[in-house]
Structure 1
C-alpha cells in the first residue's frame, strides 16, 4: 500500500469539442431568420485558440454570444473557458469581439488555487507543477474532501481532477 496518495488539478479544454460547437453555431447562424441578410459571423482560430465574432449591432452580438454559449453548454464545455475581450469597431460599422479559449492553469491562478486549498484547513500538501496543481495526502479521504470542497468553490476557470492515485 502506498504511503502517499495524490491527484492533479488541471484546466483543459477539448479543442475538438470547441470546433464542433463553433461549427454547429455557424450552421444555426445560417438558418436563423433574425440573421438573414446579416454579415454576422463566427470564426475559430485553432492555433491562437480564439473565436472571432462579428455582428451588425449590439443586439445581434448578444444573440451571437447566446448561440455560441448554448452550443458550448450542449457539448459539455464550461463557459468559464471563454474570456471575452472588449468589443471594437470593425469595417463598415460592424462590431467585432474576440473570445479567447482559456486552456491550462496560468501560474497566478495555480497559486490562487493552492491558497484556496490551504485556507480550507484540510491536511493536504499542494505542489504547483507547470500548468497543474498536485495535491498530496496520506489519506484518500482528505483528497476526496478537497475535490468536494473545490466543486463548491466558484473558481474563475473550469477544473478537472486527474491522475487520482
Structure 2
C-alpha cells in the first residue's frame, strides 16, 4: 500500500549558512557599525540577537530572515520571542527554531485528512504523520489538502513508498 510521511524539519546546514551570512552582513554594514549588534547560537541551536536598542534588534532579525528566505528555509520554522533587556543597556531577543512535529499539529493534520473525505488513513508515529492509501492519486490529493491548510509549521513530505 503506498504511503508517505509528513514531517517538520529545517535544513540545519542552510540555517547555519544563513546565520553566517547574516553575521557577516551585520559586521560589514555601515548602519550597524558601533552598535554592538551581533548574532549568536546557543546550545539548543537557537539564534540569540544582541543589540544596543530595540530597533537594532528588529533590523538584525529582518537581516536574518532575509538570509534564511534566500537560502530556502521556510520562515514558519522561526519563533521570535519578545525583546528583553540585557546587561549594559543592551537588549536580547531569542529566535527559536521549530524542529519536529508537535502532538497538537500532528492531530490537526490527521483531522484535516479525515475531514477531506479522501480514501486515505493517517496515523501519528512519533514526530511524523504516516499517510497511506490504495491509490497514488489519493495520496497526492492529501498532500495538496495539507499544503493548502497553512498550519503555521514548515511541512515536508518524505519517505514515499509505492
Pair 1:123-2:114 in alignment: no
Whole-angstrom CA distance in 2 between matches of 1:156 and 1:117: 17
What's 2:34 paired with?
37
Q: Report the counterpart of residue 145 of structure 1 in structure 2.
A: 141
Runs ≥4 in structure 1, deviation > 6 angstroms? none
Aligned pair partner of 2:4 in 3, 7, 11 = 7
Equivalences for residues 16-55 of structure 1 within 5 A: 16-45=13-42, 47-55=43-51
Q: Within 1, Cα distance between the matches of 2:94 and 2:134?
A: 45
SS in structure 2 opposite 1:38? coil
Alpha-carbon RMSD: 1.0
Cα shift readout 1:22-68 (whole Å, capped 9, x = no counterpart): 100000001111111011110123x4121000111121111101100
Contact conserved, 1:52 with 1:98, CA < 8 A, in 2?
A: yes
State how many pairs are aligned.
Answer: 161
* Distance (whole Å) between structure 2 residues aligned to residue 33 and residue 118 of structure 1: 54
Would you say 1:87 and 2:83 are equivalent positions? yes
TM-score of the two chains, using structure 2 as the length reference: 0.95
SS at match of 2:36: coil
Q: Gapped runs of 5+ residues in structure 1?
A: none
- List per-residue Cα deviations over 1:98-136 (Å, max 9, x = no partner): 011111111121111111221222221001000000001
Q: What is the TM-score with the length of structure 1 in the denominator?
A: 0.94
Structure 2 gap ranges (5+): none
